[in-house]
Amino acid sequence: MSNLNNKKILLIICGGIAAYKSLELIRLLKKDGVSIKTILTKNGAEFVTPLSISSLSQSKVYQDLFSVENEAEMDHISLSRWADLILIAPATANTISKLANGNSDDLASTVALASNKKIFIAPAMNVRMWEHQSTKQNITKLKTYNYELIGPEVGDMACGEYGEGKMSEPKEIISKLKIYFKDLKLKTKLKAVVTAGPTKEYIDPVRYISNKSSGKQGYEIAKSLSKKGFETTLISGPTNLKVNNDVNLIEVETAEEMFQSTLKSLPVDVAIFSAAVCDYKVKETSKIKIKKQDKISLELEKNVDILDCISNHNSLRPKLVVGFAAETNNLESYANKKLSEKNCDWIVANDVSNESIGFDSDFNEVSIFYKNKKIDKLNYKSKSEISDELVEKIIDHLN
C-alpha cells in the first residue's frame, strides 16, 4: 500500500501551459488513495477547466476568494488546515513572487500564507524568467520560509526555447511526496540499537582474546540511521572511531557488557547486530598477570549469543532484528543457516577473505538474506553507501 493512502493534499493550480500536467497528477494521486481538494487560480482556468479537475479529483474546485458559497462551505483558514500538505503545481513566477513578498490578493495566495502545513512548489516558467535575479531571490526567500522545491527540469519549452524551467513530471512530483511522508513517519523518533566493533575477552589483566573487526560498518550504519531520524544507540567494542553527537554511544569491552547494554537499551524498533562478538571467553580469568611459561592451557566457555537472545526475547523483541555474518567460505549456506537458527529477520553477510572488503577496509560488498529466501546484493561500494542503502531498506520494511 502506498504511503500516500488516506493522505489529504490541497493542490493549487496556477496559470501556464504546464497546468495540463496537473490533471495527470490528480489522476495518479487518486490512484494512490489521496483525498484532493483543488484551488484553481483565475489564470489557471485559462488552461484547464473546473469540470475536468472535479471529474478527476471527485471533489469541489475552489476559485474565488470572495465566493459566498465557498466561504460558507470552507473558509480559507479551514481549507489550509484540512490538508496534510499543500502542493502548488504549476507554480508560476507571479505566484512565487506573491508568496515570497507576503501578498495575498486571491484564494491561492491567501491559503498559502494562512497555512501551518508543509508547502511544496513545482515551478514552471520560461528559462529566462527562471534565471532572472528577482526569481532567484524569491526562491531563496521561500526556502527560508520552509517551502520545498520540486524541480524545475531542463528541457524544451512550449515557447520553443530550451533550458531550465519545465515543471517536473507528475511521477517525479509524487515520488518526492512519498519521500516526504516516509521521512515524516520517522520524525516520530523510531528507536534503533546497533552493535559494532570487536569484543575483548580477558585472559589476565594485560592479555585478551579478540578479533580483527574495525567497527567501521556498524558506525556507518548508526550514522545513517541517525541521519534518517532514528533515535540511535550505538553499543561499541574497542575502536578508534568517532560518531556523530546525536548518536548515543555506549562503549564496552566484553561480550557480557555488550549484552547487558543491549538489554538496557530495549525496547527499540530496530536492532542491528554488526559487532564481531567473541564466541568464547576464558572460563577463569587470572587476577594477576600470568608469567611466561613453556606451555599454557586455557579453558574456554561459550559467550552469551546476543543475536539469539534478542531475536527470541518474549516481550522486548524489536520489530526488525538484523544479524551480520562475516564468512570466509560457503557464504550463502552459512548465512541461511544463521538466519534460521537465530530467528532473526535478516542476515547481512560478506566475504571477509576478500581483503578489499575485509575487516579494516573502507569498502564492502554484502548480501542481505531474508526469511522468504530472497537475496539482495549490495555491490562493491563505500561502507557509508552500503549503510545508506541498508537503512533505506529498513525504512521501506517498517513502512
Active site residues: 159
**CB neighbour class for 39 (10 Å; exposed up to 12, middle 13-18, buried from 19):** buried
How many C-beta atoms lie closer than 10 Å to residue 125's C-beta?
26
The owner of cell 529477520 is 345
**CA angle at 306 for the pair 303 and 312, rounded to the nearest 5°:** 125
**CB neighbour class for 391 (10 Å; exposed up to 12, middle 13-18, buried from 19):** buried
3-state SS of 247-294 is CEEEECCCHHHHHHHHHHHCCCCEEEECCECCCEEECCCCCCCCCCCC
Q: What are phi and psi of 380, to 5 degrees?
A: -50, 120
Task: Give the HSE-up count for residue 84: Cα atoms under 13 Å, Cβ half-sphere.
Answer: 16
